[in-house]
């Protein structure tokens, strides 16, 4: 590497490549929470999140979900299709946790009768507020057709991920997705899917705190952050290897 950065976010840096249609993403060890009020590092996170995201994007691609993933030239680097990222955080929830509990009073851990798909406005200075469909249209963040397509994709992704994580003995509590529009106008899954962007609970552990295998360990100062991320990576990779053997 390294040419001029195109963009640096909280967890990743984007570089241009020789092709206008391809970008190189570099995953950092930096960790932030609470709209970057809390900052730190999680050793090895860049490699782990890049490895996990690549594996999940590859799996979702094989299941018919279009993603921006191309390949992983180094453990912490991912080549992706260049897209225009929609400024919407799409959150899918299977179990009540986090802001859903804080804002509605639902008890943490309550299983939802059906997956809940929510949209948040990706705007740090407004603290990423929850959007209604009408607010989303008002702000021209997506058309009704695009929104419908995103909702359907988010539900399909949830179904695939839930099934896969179940095989890893991990409960997929909730997660955040970002979508982009490619040069043909098609909506594709972008960003990352990792313990930074998902709530993942160990299905085998009894204790509520011990079972947390995601960024909540960092957010809530629970310790053993690196080992939780490593555990998720290890379970995902060994389950993928098993699935490959069977196919």
Distances (CA, A) of 175 to 89, 96, 117, 245: 10, 11, 10, 28
Minimum distance, C-beta of residue 175 to ligand UDP, in the bound complex (Å): 5
Which contacts (CB < 8 Å, 24+ apart) does range 145-149 have?
Answer: 146/86, 146/187, 149/187
25 lines the binding site for ligand UDP (CB under 6 A): no
Q: Smallest distance from the beta carbon of 174 to ligand UDP, in angstroms?
A: 4
Interaction residues for ligand UDP, span 208-247 (CB under 6 A): 215
Q: Residues binding ligand UDP: what is the number (CB under 6 A)? A: 14
Strand partners, 39: 32
For the bound state, the minimum distance from the C-beta of residue 22 to ligand UDP, rounded and expressed in Å, comes to 25
Q: Is 175 in the site for ligand UDP (CB under 6 A)?
A: yes
**For ligand UDP, which residue of 72, 176, 217, 235 counts as binding (CB under 6 A)?**
176
Stretch that binds ligand UDP, among 48-56, 155-163, 194-202, 205-213 (CB under 6 A): 194-202
Counting contacts by CB under 6 A, is residue 197 touching ligand UDP? yes
Element of type H or E holding 184: none
* CA 236 to each of CA 85, 172, 223: distance values in angstroms, whole numbers, following the listed order: 27, 13, 22
Assigned token pair, 151:
């909702």
CA distance 40 to 85: 26
Judge contact between 158 and 94, C-beta under 8 A.
yes
Alpha helices, DSSP H, located in the chain: 45-62, 98-104, 133-138, 144-167, 216-219, 225-246
Q: Which of 30, 26, 58, 25 is nearest to 44 (CA)?
A: 30
CB of 213 to ligand UDP, least distance (A): 12
Binding to ligand UDP, residues 80-139 (CB under 6 A): 89, 91, 97-100, 128
State in angstroms the smallest separation of the CB of 225 from ligand UDP: 13
Annotate each residue in 37-66 with x if it binds ligand UDP (CB under 6 A) or - if it does not, as one string: ------------------------------
Q: How far is the CB of 212 from ligand UDP (least distance, A)?
A: 11
């Amino acid at each position: 590497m390294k040419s001029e950065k195109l963009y640096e976010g909280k967890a990743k840096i984007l570089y241009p490549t020789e092709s206008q249609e391809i970008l190189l993403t570099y995953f950092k060890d930096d960790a932030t929470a609470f709209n970057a009020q809390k900052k730190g590092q999680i050793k090895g996170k860049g490699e782990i999140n890049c490895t996990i995201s690549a594996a999940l994007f590859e799996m979702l691609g094989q299941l018919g979900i279009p993603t921006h993933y191309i390949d992983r030239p180094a453990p912490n680097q991912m080549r992706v299709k260049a897209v225009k990222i929609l400024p919407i955080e799409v959150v899918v929830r299977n179990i009540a946790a986090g802001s859903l509990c804080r804002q509605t009073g639902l008890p943490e851990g309550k299983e939802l009768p059906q997956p809940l798909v929510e949209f948040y406005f990706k705007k740090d200075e407004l603290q990423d507020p929850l959007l209604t469909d009408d607010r989303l249209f008002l702000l021209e963040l997506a058309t009704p057709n695009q929104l419908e397509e995103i909702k359907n994709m988010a539900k399909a992704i949830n179904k695939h991920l839930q099934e896969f994580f179940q095989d890893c003995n991990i409960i997929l509590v909730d997660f955040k997705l970002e979508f982009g529009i490619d040069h043909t106008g098609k909506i594709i899954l972008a960003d990352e899917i990792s313990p930074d962007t998902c709530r993942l609970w160990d299905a085998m552990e009894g204790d509520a705190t011990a079972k947390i295998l995601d960024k909540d360990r960092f957010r809530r100062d629970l310790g053993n952050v690196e080992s939780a991320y490593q555990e998720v990576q290890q379970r995902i990779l060994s389950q993928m290897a098993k699935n490959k053997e069977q196919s």
